[in-house]
Structure 1
Amino acid sequence: MIGLLDALNDPEVMAQIAERQRVIDRVVEKMGVTRARAIEALDDFATNLCHDGQTLH
């Protein structure tokens, strides 16, 4: 398990965080929802994906 301070020094983790923020901003823009709702929608979407990126039924 990586700690918060460790993550701040890890360029790969920081890149993943930046990409997630970019996607959240795009969802806010396209859906016209709050950041909180965009994060919730993104989390719900991620929950419904299997390991291969296929949606679960």
Structure 2
Amino acid sequence: MGKILVIDDEESILLMLATALAKCGFNVEIAVDGTEGIKKFDEGHFDLVITDILM
């Protein structure tokens, strides 16, 4: 399946999304803030990025 990057500064939302997507068969990477998210995005290839706009 696809590779998804989830970026959120709220740990409970981050873990809930990552867990649900992983159970659906997606390869999920997480980032706890925008800086980490940009770094992971630049270093990898993702089919989808889910991010909190108001971090």
Does the alignment reach a TM-score above 0.5? no
Which structure has more RCO (C-alpha within 8 Å, separation ≥ 6)? 2
- Which structure has the larger Rg over C-alpha atoms? 1
- Structure with greater strand percent: 2
Is the helix fraction higher in 1 or 2? 1
Could you state the TM-score of these two structures normalised by the residue count of structure 2? 0.31
